[in-house]
Structure 1
C-alpha cells in the first residue's frame, strides 16, 4: 500500500490553512441576520431606526434594497434572499444589520422593531397534501414540490399470485450536517466592477448564479473564489450561496468589503437538513422466497423551500426497492412543502431513508417465510445482467453484490455469530446482536442533472505542473485524488504537481461536488487532459527528433521497449523551445442516460456502486443503551486511488450511519429547530464508536477513465439499517423509526 498522501494535511493540522473567517480585508464591515420568530406570517413592517442609532451600526439592509431578484432557487425560485412579505420559516431572514464589528451588529438586533401578522403554519406533510390545505407558495400552485413514480409490470396480478403479502411503515428523522465550520462569506466590489466572493462552499458556480441574480448583474460580473472548506456533507450549497448573496448585497450597497460568518445557532436554525421520510411498503412474495411485487408510498418533508427536494426524492424513487430485482412495482414519491426548516442535499441524497426501510423489510419477509436473511438476499439481489425496477439492464460493469456480501460475511464470521444473538432472552444480562445491510447506488447525478467535468493541466517551463479541475475540496481529499491520478498518468512524482484552487472565472462549471462524483467525474477529466497533454508532447518529440514515445514513467519518456528517450524536463524544454505550449484542457462526460418521468423507466445512472456493511452490538436490557462493538464495510470502489483517504471515507460514512440510527435527531417545534448547538445535538463521539474494518473490492469501471467510482455516500447509506437489524437480533423487537 502506498504512503498516505493529503496535499492539504500539513496546512490543516498546523493551523495554517486559511478559512473564510480567517480572512480580513481593509475597511471591512460585518453583517448579521435578523430572523423571523414565527414559522408562517406576513411581514407588516420593519423599523430599523433604533438599531441604526446603536454604536458602530452602519446600515440596515432589507428586501427593498435588493436591486435584482428577491427570490432564488436551484429548481424553483422560491427562497427569499431577504423576506419582502411572506414568511414561511423561522429560518427566514428579515433584515441584515451591518456594523464595524460583528459584536456591534449582534448587539443591535433586539432594537429592530418587527410587526408580523401570524398565519397558521402547516407542519405535517400529510396535512399539506390534503385537497383543502392552504397553498404555502401561491405562485407555485401546489404544496408538492414534486411527484415521482415508478410503474413496472402488474402489481395487482402479482399480489393475487403471492403466497405472502407483508405491509410495514417506516419513518426517518431530520438530521443536521454537523460540519465543523459554519457558513462564512466575504464579498467586495473590485475596481473593475466585478463582485468578488470568498466563501466556504461545495458549488461555487451555484453561488455565482445566486449572487448575480440578487444583484441583477451578468455572470461575468461575479467571480467566486472558494477558500478552505471546513466540511460540507452536502450542506454547503444552498445556504452557503444565500450567505454569499447577502454579503454581496451589503458590499454592493455600501461599496465596502462585508463579511458574514454564522454562529452555530444561526447555522442550525437556517441551514437545510436531511429530509425526514414516512414510508409505507407492501411486498408480495411466493413461498420460495422470491419477491413478486412492491408497492411503496414515500413522503418527504421538504420544509419551507424546494431546494433540491425533487432531485433527492428522484434518487429515492429509482432506489425504492433497494438492490433487489422486482418485476412488478408501483412507487409513488412526494416532496412536500411545510413550514418546517427546509431540507436539501445531505450525504446519501435520498438513499439512507430508503435503505433503512427496505433492508429491514427484506429481513421481516425472510423471517415470515422461515428463511435466513442471507439466503433471501442472495435469491433476490441484482446480479450480472439483472434488470432494475426502472428497466435498466446491469450489463456494462461488474455487478459485485455477491463479492461485497461474501467479504463481509467472512470478515465478520456472520453465520456463526448470528447463532449467538440474544433475541431478547430474559436470562441474559446483556443482549448481543449482529446485523448487516446491502445496497447498490447509482453513481453521480444520473437523470437529476447534467453530468460533466473538466480539467486543466499546464506544465511550467521547469517541468513543474499546475492542475485545476471543476472539483472542489470540502474535506474529503478530492484535491489529493486529482493529484494522484495526474501523477499516475504523467509518470511524475506527487511533489511536482500543484493543485490550483479554481475560481469561477478560470474553469467551466463542473457541477456541485456532491453525489460521490468528485473522483469519477473530476478524475475522468484529469485522465482525458493527461491524454491530450501526452499527445502534444509525443507529437512534438516525433516531429523534432523522429523518436516515438510510448510511455511516461518516473519522470522519463520511454519507447515501446522501455528504452530511454529523454527526461520529462528535457521534453518540456523541447516543447517550449519550439513554441509548443504543454497545456491541455480535458473534459469527461459519461454516456447519456434516459428517463421517462411518467413511468419511471429508463437507464437512471451510467454505473453503480455495490456495498455491504455489518455491525455487532450489545443492548442493556434495563436501560436500552446500545454499545457498538465492531463495524465492517466492503464496497466495490472500482479502483483505489488514495487508500488512506478511502479508509477515511469508509470510517466517516459508518460513523455518520451510526449517528443516524442511534444518536441524531433534529426535531422542529412550531417550525423552529430545537437543537441550537452541539450541546443539545449529539453526533457520535469517538467514545461511542467501535473498531472499524474497511474492505476494498476493486473492479475498475469501464466507463470511468480512471477506473474509480465514488464512495463518500455509499459508505454512509447502510449502517443505519444494519444497526436496526442487529438491534432486532439482540432484543427481538423491530424498530421502524
Structure 2
C-alpha cells in the first residue's frame, strides 16, 4: 500500500477525537527520582572511566605528544591516541572530517587529542591534563571576518532565487539597506553527554548512549572498531534533554567508550564534565544578516536581496542542511515576489556548530521579521499592519523554493490573536505610557510562525516500529524514536492503545534499541511522533487485522462486525476483554507480533536547484509579547505573552502545551540572555553555568497564556496531528521585536530601527539606545 494510502487508512480508522492530557509516561519516575538515566546504571566491577586530553590551540600542527606523565598518573589504566584506533578515525555524520582523536593537526580549541581510561572519573580528568604537546601554530580563523578574508568555506556559497530581485529593487518606490547579528546558543541539556560501553562475546559491543540518533552511533562505532553494524547495539531509554545537541555530538563520547571497551575487554563510561561538554560540543549557528529591501508606501515588499552568513566551525557536521533550512524559512509567512537569498557557510577554527531546535529555521525567520520591523519603522507604521499586508494569500502562495503553501491558516490565527490579546488597544496604551515615562520604555509585538515539517534530506523521512501483544493482553511497543523528555513515547503509546481499544496502562514502552528497530533516522526535525506514530500504527493495524480475521472465523461473523472498544472487543454478539482475545488468539496460533514501517509521502527536493517540496506540511503559530526596558541599565522584563499555536488535532494537549511553553522560553533565552563569548585565541569563555546565562524561572513572562488552535492537519498524519517540537521556539521572536520597539521609544523621532543585535543583553540594549539617540542628534552617548 502506498504511504499516502496508509496514512489515509489511518485517518479513516482513527477519527479525530478530543484527546485527554495523559501525563508523560515517565512522569511518576521523574518526580520520584526513579527514572534511570545512563549515569544511574549500576557500575560493574572493573568499570573504566574516561576523559579526553584536549588541544590548547585553535589551529596548529601537532609536532610531538609526550604522554608519559599521563600514563604514570595514579589510577590510569590505559592511554590511547589515533594510532590505536583499529578502524576509521571518524565520528562525523556526513563529511568524514570529525576525527575521534586528532591526527597531525588540531582545528579548534578543546579538540580531543588523546583518551585516558582510569579507575575513576576524577583520576582520568586529572591525568588528561598532564599531556605535554608540542605545537607548530597555524593561521586561525576565529571570527567570521577572518574566515571570509581567508576565503574559508565548508562548501560553496548557495543561492535561492525567484524573479529578478536586483532589477525589482531598482524600480521599487522605496529602498532600505540594513543588517544585524544574532548569536549562537549552547544546548545546556540537564543531562550532559554520556555513554556506557560493555564488551560482548566475539568482539560485540553494547552501548548505552544519550543520543538522538542511535543508528548513526551504531554505524560510526562499527566503522571505528572495524566491525559490522550487527556487532554493535545501541540502546537509549531516555535522555535528560537534547535539543539537537545529541544528534551528532553524542558519537564522540560513544566512540571513545566503545574503543576502550573493545581494547580492554572491560566496561567503560564517559561522563563529560559540564565545562568540557560545553567546550567540546557544537552550538547553534550564529548568523550575520545583511539586506536590501524594496517596498511601496503601504509597506508591501516588492524585492529582497538577503545575505545570510554563518560561521560553521571547524568541520562540516550538519551545517549544509542547517543553512539550507535558514534559507527555507527566510520567507516565514510572507510572499516575496522577487527575492534573492544568498547563504555563506564559513569554516572557522572553533568547535563545529551543529543541530539545535529549529535547525536554522529560527535564524532565517528572525531575519525576515527584523526586515519587516525595519520597514515599519521607516514608514512610521505599526509592524503588525505590514505583516498582515505581506502574508501569503491566494495567487501569492508559492515559496521562493517553489512549494505551494496549501494550508495557510496564518491570517486567521493572526486575526484571532490580535483580537483575543487586545493588541491594538494595548499598543495605543503603550505609546501613551512611553510618552510620559522618561526611563522605562515598553514595547509590544505580534509575530507569526510558519515552520516546515520533514527532514529536508528526503531519505531520512522514514521510521520503523515493533509491537508485541502478549497472551495476557499487555502490549510492548518499540520504535526508532528516542525519548528526550518531549513525550514521544506516550504519544506513540496512545496511538497503539487507540488501535486496540485498550487503556494506556496496558502499553509498555521499551528502550529504543538498534537490535529491535534498525536503520532509524534521528529523532529530530520535529518528526518523532509523525514518523514513529505512523510506523507503530501500521504495526498495530497488522496485528489487529489478524485478530479480526481470527474472530470472524471463530464466531462466524463478518470482519466488519468486529470492533475494538474501551468496553471490550466485540465480534458479532460475542464480547470479551482484550486480554481474553489475546489468550484465544495465542491458543489459536495467531501471530501477535509485527513490525511497522512508514515513509513520508509526496516530498522531494532538488538541492542543486533549491527547488521542490521539502516539507510535508507547515505548522503555524502566533505570539504577542509585551516587554519593559530600563533605559538606564539596559535590563528588561517580559511582562506578558499570548500564544496561539497550531498542533493540528493534538495527540496530547498536556504534552503539547508543555512543549510550547518550553520552546518559547528557550527561544527567549537565545534572543535575550544566552551569549557565547570567544577569546581571540579561540577559547570559549562562556563555558559553564557561572558564565553562561540560560533563562530561569524569574525570566518566565509574568503572564504566559497558551492556547491551541482548533484545527486539523490537511495532510493525513497520525490522527491529523501536527509536530510540536521545534515550531514554538520561534514564537519568542515576538520578544525581540517588542524589545526593538521599546528601545526605539527612547528616541521616537527617529524613523529607523535601533541597531540591536541578538542576544539583547543589557549591554547590547544600552549600546543600541545610545546609537539610536545619537541618530536623533541627542546628547546621550
The two structures have a TM-score, normalised by structure 2, of 0.89
Matched-pair contact (CA < 8 Å) for 1:352–1:718 = no
Residues 573-588 of structure 1 aligned to structure 2 (within 5 Å): 573-588=583-598
- CA shift digits 1:436-467 (9 cap, x unpaired): 21121110213465201122221100111111
Question: Secondary structure at the residue paired with 1:420?
Answer: helix
Which stretch has the larger CA shift, 418-427 or 457-466?
A: 418-427
CA-based RMSD of the aligned residues comes to 2.0
CA contact (8 A) 2:203 2:262 kept: no
Work out the CA distance in 2 between the residues paired with 1:721 and 1:270.
32
Q: Which of 229, 248, 261 in structure 2 is aligned with 1:219? A: 229
* Counterpart check, 1:411 vs 2:429: no
The secondary structure found in structure 1 opposite 2:460 is coil
Q: Number of aligned pairs?
A: 724
Partner of 1:345: 355
Residue matched to 1:682: 693
Distance 1:208 1:370, change over 3 A: same
Which residue in the other structure is 1:18 paired with?
A: 36
Q: Secondary structure at the match of 2:612?
A: coil
1:59 aligned counterpart, secondary structure: strand
Q: State the alpha-carbon separation in 1 of the partners of residues 282 and 536 from structure 2.
A: 32
1:508 to 513, 518, 523: 518
**Which whole-Å deviations, capped at 9, do the CAs of 1:679-705 have from their partners, x for residues lacking one?**
111101101212311111143222313
Deviations 1:308-366 (A, max 9, x none): 00110111111122221112111111222100121000011101112222112112223
Please say if residues 251 and 257 of structure 1, whose CA atoms lie closer than 8 Å, have aligned partners that are also in contact.
Answer: yes
Aligned to 1:138: none
Residue 592 of structure 1 deviates from its aligned partner by 3.7
Specify the alignment match of 2:59 in structure 1: 40
C-alpha displacement of 1:426: 6.5
8 Å Cα contact 2:302/2:336 also seen in 1: yes
Determine if the alignment matches structure 1 residue 544 to structure 2 residue 554: yes
Q: 2:133 aligns with which of 114, 119, 124?
A: 114
Q: Which residue of 2 is the match for residue 697 of structure 1?
A: 709
Distance (whole Å) between structure 1 residues aligned to residue 458 and residue 595 of structure 2 = 26
1:652 aligns with 2:691: no
Cα offset, 1:15, TM superposition: 1.2
Aligned partner of 2:730 among 717, 722, 725:
717
Distance 1:680 1:588, change over 3 A: same
Q: Name the TM-score, length of structure 1 as normaliser.
A: 0.95
Q: Return the match for 1:9 from 14, 23, 27.
A: 27
Q: Which whole-Å deviations, capped at 9, do the CAs of 1:22-70 have from their partners, x for residues lacking one?
A: 2212211111111000100111111111221222211111111011111
Choose the corresponding residue for 1:643, options 647, 653, 664.
653
Distance (whole Å) between structure 2 residues aligned to residue 203 and residue 128 of structure 1: 31
Is contact 1:454-1:522 (8 Å) kept? yes
Please say if 1:599 is aligned against 2:609. Answer: yes
Give the 3-state SS of the residue equivalent to 1:238 in structure 2: coil
CA offset at residue 616 of structure 1? 1.1
Q: Is the contact made by 1:318 and 1:604 (CA closer than 8 Å) also made in structure 2?
A: no
What secondary structure does 1:273 align onto?
A: coil
Partner of 2:207: 197
The answer for the alignment partner of 2:385 in structure 1 is: 375
* Structure 1 residues 662-673: aligned runs within 5 Å: 662-669=672-679, 670-673=681-684
**Separation in structure 2 between the aligned mates of residue 145 and residue 425 of structure 1, nearest angstrom:** 50
Shift of residue 429, structure 1, vs aligned partner: 4.2
Q: Using the alignment, how far apart are the partners of 2:652 and 2:388 within structure 1?
A: 31
| Paired position in structure 1 for 2:9 | none
- Superposition deviation, residue 149 in structure 1: 2.0
- SS of match in other structure, 2:596: strand
Counterparts in 2 of 1:133-532, with a 5 A limit?
133=151, 143-145=153-155, 147-383=157-393, 386-395=397-406, 398-422=407-431, 425=435, 427-447=437-457, 449-532=459-542
C-alpha separation between the residues in 1 aligned to 2:634 and 2:165? 40
Question: Runs of 5+ in structure 2 lacking a partner?
Answer: 1-18, 746-752, 759-781
CA distance in 2, matches of 1:420, 1:146: 49
Shift, 1:719, TM fit: 0.6
> Does structure 1 conserve the Cα–Cα contact (< 8 Å) formed by 2:455 and 2:614?
no
- Cα deviation for residue 260 of structure 1 reads 0.8
Query: Does the residue aligned with 1:360 lie in a helix, a strand or coil?
Result: helix
Q: Secondary structure at 1:144's aligned position in 2? A: coil
User: Once the 2 structures are TM-superposed, how far is the Cα of residue 370 of structure 1 from its aligned partner?
Assistant: 4.7
CA distance in 1, matches of 2:539, 2:54: 47
What whole-Å deviation, never above 9, does each CA across 1:496-546 have from its counterpart, x for those lacking one? 011111211110233111111111111122222232222111111112222
Q: 1:47–1:112: 8 Å Cα contact kept in structure 2?
A: yes
| Structure 1: runs of 5 or more not aligned | 136-142
Contact persistence 1:274–1:344 (CA under 8 A): yes
Q: For the residues of structure 1 that align with 2:341 and 2:527, how far apart are their CA atoms?
A: 26
**Aligned to 1:88, which of 102, 107, 113?**
107
Q: In structure 2, how many angstroms separate the alpha carbons of the residues matched to 1:149 and 1:489?
A: 46
CA contact (8 A) 2:154 2:315 kept: no
Secondary structure of 1:684's counterpart equals: coil
Given that 2:552 and 2:562 are in contact with CA atoms closer than 8 Å, whether structure 1 keeps it comes out as no
Tell me the distance in 2 between the aligned counterparts of 1:666 and 1:58.
36
Taking the aligned partners of 2:501 and 2:731, their CA distance within structure 1 comes to 38
* Structure 1 Cα separation of the partners of residues 335 and 562 of structure 2: 45
Alpha carbons 1:146, 1:310 under 8 Å: kept: no
Residue 139 of structure 1 corresponds to none
Change in CA separation of 1:369 and 1:731 when aligned onto 2, cut-off 3 Å = closer
Give the conservation status (yes or no) of the 8 Å contact 1:174–1:667.
no
1:570 lines up with 2:588 in the alignment: no
Contact 2:568 2:578 in 1 (8 A): yes
Report the more deviating stretch, 301-310 or 698-707.
698-707
Q: Greater shift after overlay, 99-108 or 434-443?
A: 99-108
Q: Distance in 2 between matches of 1:7 and 1:597?
A: 39
Taking the aligned partners of 2:668 and 2:254, their CA distance within structure 1 comes to: 33
Q: Distance between the aligned counterparts of 1:196 and 1:337, measured in 2?
A: 35
- More displaced stretch, 154-163 vs 275-284: 154-163
Q: Distance in 1 between matches of 2:381 and 2:435?
A: 21
Q: Check whether the contact 2:331–2:399 (CA below 8 A) recurs between aligned residues.
A: no
Structure 1 residue 371: Cα displacement: 4.0
Task: Name the CA shift for 1:332/1:389 in 2 (closer, same or farther; >3 Å).
Answer: same
- Structure 1 residues 619 and 351, CA gap change in structure 2 (3 angstroms): same
Aligned-residue offset at 1:487: 1.7
Asked if structure 2 preserves the Cα contact closer than 8 Å seen for 1:360 and 1:721, the reply is no
CA distance in 2 between counterparts of 1:112 and 1:289 reads 61
Shift of 1:12: 1.5
Q: Per the alignment, in what secondary structure is the counterpart of residue 580 of structure 1?
A: coil
d(CA) in 2 for partners of 1:108 and 1:364?
A: 54
Q: Distance in 2 between matches of 1:366 and 1:409?
A: 18
Q: Distance in 2 between matches of 1:700 and 1:192?
A: 52
The SS at the match of 2:429 is coil
SS in 2 for 1:237: coil
Cα displacement string for residues 383-402 of structure 1 (whole angstroms, at most 9, x for unaligned residues): 4671111111123xx32112
Counterpart of 1:676 in 2: which secondary structure? coil
